[in-house]
Each structure stands twice: as C-alpha cells, then as structure tokens.
Amino acid sequence: MKKILLTFLTALLCVPLQAQAIRVLLADGQKKAQVQTSGLVYIYEQDGKKFKVSKPETLSISYNGKTLTLGELKSKKTIIIEPAKGVLLTFQKNTYTGKLYAIPKGKTFRIVEHTDMENYLLGVLPYEMSYSWPVESLKAQAVAARTYTFMQLKNNKRTDFDLYNDTRDQMYKGSGKVYDSVRKAVDGTHRLVLTYDKEPFHTYYHANCGGGTDDAKIWTGAKGPTIKPLQGASCAYDKKSKSYSWKNTISHKSINQFANKNGLQGSVKKIKVASKTKSHRAINLEFTTSKGKKTLSCAKFRLAVGASRLKSCKLTDIQKTASGFSFTGHGYGHGIGMCQDGAKAMALAGKNYKQILSNYFPSAKLTEL
C-alpha cells in the first residue's frame, strides 16, 4: 500500500465537547485495518501533534505488537482519525461520523468510535427495528435504546469502550447512512429516557414476546423484587408476526454437547419443561439420559444451541426425533421489556410512542436527560 503523506498542523483544531460521549467497540483483535475517508481528516496520537489528509484516501493501519503504523505516523500509543464536519469514515463496509480510535491491546489493536448519544441512536434504530416501520414505533425504540445506553454508560467498568456494536449490547452500524424516519424518531424524542422513582432503568427489548412479557429477573438472574416497569406486561398485538409461532429441530449433537458440558453424562433421551413463568415461558428444562437427569436453565440452553434456532423459551411442545429434538413455541427473544413486533402493531393501530412505552413498561415516566 502507498504511504499517506501527512501535513503537520501548527494550530490544533478546536473540537466542541459533546454532551454525551459514547465509545463503541467496532472491532477487536486487529493486526491490520483499513479506513476509507470521504474527505478531510485529522490524524494524531492521543495528546499529540495533529496531521491532516485533505483528500479521500484509504488509510491503512498496522500493528507489529509494539508500534502502530498509519502512513508516516508511528506510535506506541493510541492513534485517532478525526473526520472534518460532513466527512464519513468507512470501516468494514459501515460508515461512521465520529472519531475512530486505534487502541493497542496486547499483540493486537481494537477500533473504537467516539460519537455522541443522538448520532449513536441514528446508527442503532434501523438495525434494531426496521426503518420502514411506523415512526411512532421507531420513537418508542429510540427512547428504549437511549435509556439502555444511558444505563450502560452509568454502569460501565470497561477502560476503552462503553458498548459493543452487536447483540451483546445493541446492533450499531454507524450514523453515516441516515433514514428520514429514523431521524424523525430520534429528533422527536430528543434527550428523553424512561425512569421509575426518578431513576433510569435497563429498558430491555426483543423481537416478539409471544403474547406477553415476563419479569426481568428470569433473564437477568437478579435477586430481590423487580421494579414495576420490568415485572412483565400483556401483549395483544404481536400475533400477526411470523415470529409469533415457530418450530425448529435442534440436533442431538448440539443438545448432548450442552448437557455434557453441564455435568450430565450420556446422550439425552428426554427433555421437558421443569418450571415456567405465569406467561408460560420456561425457566428451567429437565434433561434425562440413561445415566441420570439434571435441571438446567432454558435461557443458557437457548444461547448455547443458537438463539435463532431456539427462538424463545416460551415452549409449547418438545418431541424427540431421529435427527434431534423438535421444539415448538411462541415469540422470538428473551421476552423482557418491549416487544418490537407489538410496538409496530400498536403504531399501525394508531397508538403513539408514549402509549407503546406505557404498555410495555407500566408505571415508567418519560424524563429529559
């Protein structure tokens, strides 16, 4: 790759402080990375001299375990790529408007974007809920995602970043591409979060609740009473979604691997629901082999065999087959907080975002940050 010529800036560019800094992990374990720019960018070591690349370029970053190299700049510290106003940075086919940090970590480096709350939400909404959905459902999603983000920032103990860019937190693909409906939803709920007793809380959400949501403690494992907004809610709007009812087969190999890793010997001969919630979501499953039986968490089983295969723990039937076990159930996701399919249907029925949030987070209040 050709070297990028860097022009030293004698005067530092003044960047206004953002009211809410969000640090999103875009990639980890990198030895090489490429960032495409659409125009003027500034490149510098943290607390170091600034350089500029005036024209669109492909910036190549490499790391030998000791030194980061970007064009003529070599550093043992973090290197920052800061776009000028209106300039986009493309990394792994997604476009970003914030600063990208290349941070050495052991023998590799990670890429972290620094952006603000509202731009972060512009990159979350179309990937957590389709941009084509009604604006009122998108507004409900914006408030839920903003509140969740606020709580993650509040409780974060990581050094270099606040949130993952995937389902470990929220799906995020940058704010370089913005849909009008998403912009309306984010702007129309500017700075609004959900609170209970004047405190924000974790506003979980999922694809389809299968007719009703559950108490958050069955998923989080929290002890003590759950606050009222997270104790579960009824849902009469998600039945028309294709995710409401499903049937899938999980292979014997996947099931036996899970059982064996959790202390049960032999091949699984039978699986049944051992305990369930009031809305009939399985809490625990009983696995039986020729050498014994054991009760294990359904939520952990679902993650182990694939959340897209065992779509939820709201199971209506389990049958052994020649190839594995056939599971039939309702819903898609953990079943806590807001049902996204339900939110869409409520919006189509004429409900506004406040009514949607009130349904799934009863007794919660909208509060401006």
The reply to whether 2 falls in a domain is no
Q: What confidence score (pLDDT) does residue 10 get?
A: 35
Sign of the four-CA dihedral 78, 84, 86, 92: negative
Q: Does 274 share its domain with 216?
A: no
Q: What confidence score (pLDDT) does residue 25 get?
A: 98
User: Model pTM?
Assistant: 0.90
Q: Does 317 share its domain with 341?
A: no
Q: What confidence score (pLDDT) does residue 4 get?
A: 43
> At which of 116, 149, 177 does a domain end?
116
Q: Provide the number of structural domains found in the chain.
A: 3
d(CA 238, CA 311): 15
Domain residues for the domain of 44 are 7-116
d(CA 22, CA 117): 6
d(CA 26, CA 112): 5
- On the 0-12 / 13-18 / 19+ scale of CB atoms within 10 A, 158 is exposed
**Cβ–Cβ contacts within 10 Å for residue 240, how many?**
10
Q: Does 234 share its domain with 156?
A: yes
pLDDT in tens, 84-108: 999 999 999 999 999 999 999 999 9
The reply to whether 274 falls in a domain is yes
The reply to whether 351 falls in a domain is yes
C-alpha torsion 22→26→31→34, nearest 10: -100
Q: Does 131 share its domain with 234?
A: yes
Q: Does 233 share its domain with 351?
A: yes
Q: Does 28 share its domain with 108?
A: yes
Q: What confidence score (pLDDT) does residue 49 get?
A: 86
Q: Does 326 share its domain with 225?
A: no
Q: What confidence score (pLDDT) does residue 8 get?
A: 39
Q: Does 202 share its domain with 138?
A: yes
Both tokens assigned to 10 = 């004698």
> At which of 100, 116, 132 does a domain end?
116
Q: Does 272 share its domain with 145?
A: no
Q: What confidence score (pLDDT) does residue 18 get?
A: 37
Our CA angle for 311, 315, 321, nearest 5°, is 85
Q: Does 227 share its domain with 253?
A: no
Residues of the chain under the 70 pLDDT cut = 1-20
d(CA 366, CA 173): 27
Beta bridge partners of 41: 53, 83
The reply to whether 318 falls in a domain is yes
Q: Does 79 share its domain with 53?
A: yes
Q: What confidence score (pLDDT) does residue 256 get?
A: 97
Amino acid at residue number 204: Y
